[in-house]
Amino acid sequence: MLSTMQDVPLTVTRILTHGMTIHGKSQVTTWTGEPEPQRRTFAEVGRRAAQLAHALRDELGVDGDQRVATLLWNNSEHIEAYLSVPSMGAVLHPLNVRLPAEQLIWVVGHADDKVVIVNGSLLPLLGPLLPRLPSVEHVIVAGPGDRSVLAGAAPRVHEYEELIAGRPTTYDWPELDERQAAAMCYTSGTTGDPKGVIYSHRSIYLHSMQVNMAESMGLSVKDTTLVVVPQFHVNAWGLPHAAFMSGINMLMPDRFLQPVPLAEMIERERPTHAAAVPTIWQGLLAEVTANPRDLSSMARVTIGGAACPPALMAAYDKLGVRLCHAWGMTETSPVGTMSSPPAGLTAEEEWPYRITQGRFPAGVEARLVGPGGEHLPWDNRSAGELEVRGPWIAAAYYGGSDGEVLRPDDKFSEDGWLKTGDVGVISDEGFLTLTDRAKDVIKSGGEWISSFELENALMAHPDVAEAAVIAVPDDKWGERPLATVVLKEGATADYQALRAFLGRTVAEWQLPERWTVIPAVPKTSVGKFDKKVIRKQYADGELDVTRL
Ligand code: AMP
């Protein structure tokens, strides 16, 4: 029997029209570095999104599912593009501003981007690449910055404000198929070429509802979210779309991502929610420890993208800021888990739940797979690779404009689940604790050592700013951990002391005997520890390793 319910497509267009009417007074505030930030209401942003669509269609001839790329910071124009491009039926492609030039060129070519909307401040990055971006026919420049690098460029150059000025503020949005492509993001590509994930209107709609749910980010019209996570990193973890659904105000940092301006915008604008990777919160913590600021408006902060050290969580608790741990991937839109402890617990009882990666929402099914392909029990002990499936989880990668998709065996199971490459355990209540990336696990004498566990334990030492642990070859055990440590200024701890400190929480046989102090942990383009760089430094003999 078929249902008797209406079948209304779940589209970004509906998110846009809902946000700009029902939540028309909510605001997008963009930091400008000037005494006053730029403020636009959702209604204004929606009208400008319509003007942008007219410009793209009438002036630039964007049609069908052509790709419109953005090389933009987190700001109002970027949100306008987020809403406008998919709603007109085209595909939004946010570009990672920190990708190495060669990868950026590869990604633009692979996606066949026709248009790039770029911030003026990022022209020094884009300008020199243009001769190698043959698919790009138009460049639209928004905001301040020296335009001279564009002199003689092959694509036509437009000024964002001039381009949209005077155009109609409503648009006759087409009725789209909800399964159609709306946006695409490439993985940050720690191995091989980046892989393109194409989000559908439906996946974005359903994911946005999940983001808003109380047990996820719990966004409300009464709140303001500080969107630090870049819009090119998995659609800013879905925040802009979710915000247009729930009406939460957005505070956008633009290019001011350093600890000092972040601290200033938090103190002045008093956001109640924020989202970013641990590196950002580590940097901010160091800043406010040296120069105290009031961050306490941020009742909840979503932290993910890399494991959150429990010591960081504890430090922010003292500032009145609650870090809520989440796990996800470009392939999972990204919300995969969120850590929200069960009801009725004291703060102390909540702690073991808070430091896990969290629980799976209804839209994400999970299973753990052992080395022989067997499915492991959820007993919080059996460690295996996490596989997931659901309506906002990728089923394949973009294979290029011939319409092919890629389903590599190491990424997708035969029965269609996504192989995450993350290793961990799951409790009987569904709380996930990750212990490693599959490729980072330290296999010592047939047993696995968790690099996350060693790093978290090290980062709880008062003298340690950051620590990354990698596997290095060992004649006797196959592999052993190498601890690379960044010490805080004025630190006195030596390796023996650090090892003894680790020994308080970590089993003796897992303690590293190889140690080195490094000036900073190398980071990927999205701010995660880049262990492949450390592995290479070790292999090339560049690290001064002490053996205890
Ligand atoms: P990306 O696609 O760049 O967002 O990277 C996704 C990967 O980041 C995941 O597969 C994990 O390895 C890692 N990751 C994300 N969130 C967490 C977390 N909370 N704890 C540990 N690793 C994480």
Per-residue pLDDT tens digits for 22-57: 999 999 999 999 999 999 999 999 999 999 999 999
Q: What is the pLDDT of residue 472?
A: 96
**pLDDT of 401 strictly over 80:** no
Q: Beta-strand (E) ranges in 277-409?
A: 300-303, 322-328, 335-338, 358-359, 365-369, 384-389, 397-398, 405-406
Q: Within a 13 Å sphere around the CA of 509, how many CA atoms are in the beta-carbon half?
A: 10
Residue nearest to ligand 1 atom 7, measured at CA: 329
Whether 317 and 356 share a structural domain: no
Q: What is the mean pLDDT of residues 352-364?
A: 98
**pLDDT of 336 strictly over 90:** yes
Rounded-to-integer distance, Cα 56 and Cα 122, Å: 21
Whether 291 and 393 share a structural domain: no
Tell me the CATH number at 303: 3.40.50.980
Among 309, 332, 355, identify where a domain stops: 332
29-52 in b/e form (b: 16+ CB < 10 A) is bbbeeeeebbebbbbbbbbbbbbb
Whether 434 and 444 share a structural domain: no
Structural domain that includes position 160: 7-257
Tell me the CATH number at 361: 2.30.38.10
Whether 72 and 164 share a structural domain: yes
Ligand 1, residues at Cβ distance < 6 Å: 187-188, 234, 304-307, 325-330, 334, 357, 420-422, 434, 437, 526
Whether 365 and 389 share a structural domain: yes
Q: What is the pLDDT of residue 446?
A: 85
Whether 380 and 453 share a structural domain: no
**pLDDT of 444 strictly over 90:** yes
Q: What is the mean pLDDT of residues 348-368?
A: 98
Q: What is the pLDDT of residue 403?
A: 75
Q: Is residue 344 part of a domain?
A: yes
Categorize the per-residue pLDDT at 447 as very low, low, confident or very high, splitting at 50, 70 and 90: confident
**pLDDT of 192 strictly over 90:** no
**pLDDT of 529 strictly over 70:** yes
pTM for the structure as a whole: 0.95
Q: Is residue 102 part of a domain?
A: yes
Whether 133 and 273 share a structural domain: no
Whether 185 and 78 share a structural domain: yes
Whether 249 and 264 share a structural domain: no
Mean pLDDT of the chain: 96
User: How far is ligand 1, taken at its centre, from the CA of residue 229, in Å?
Assistant: 13
The set of catalytic residues is 187, 331, 443, 448
Tell me the CATH number at 480: 3.30.300.30
User: How far is ligand 1, taken at its centre, from the CA of residue 79, in Å?
Assistant: 24
Q: Which residues contact 277 (CB under 8 A, 6 or more apart)?
A: 229, 303, 304, 305, 306, 526, 527, 528
Q: What is the mean pLDDT of residues 168-197?
A: 91
Domain count, the chain: 4
Among 378, 406, 438, identify where a domain stops: 438
**pLDDT of 189 strictly over 90:** no
Q: Is residue 1 part of a domain?
A: no
Q: What is the pLDDT of residue 191?
A: 60
Return the ligand 1 atom nearest residue 330 CA. Answer: 2
Among 227, 257, 287, identify where a domain stops: 257
Give the pLDDT confidence of 212-235 residue by residue, as tens digits. 999 999 999 999 999 999 999 999
Question: Probe ligand 1: pick from 327, 423, 431, 455, max atoms within 8 Å of CB?
Answer: 327
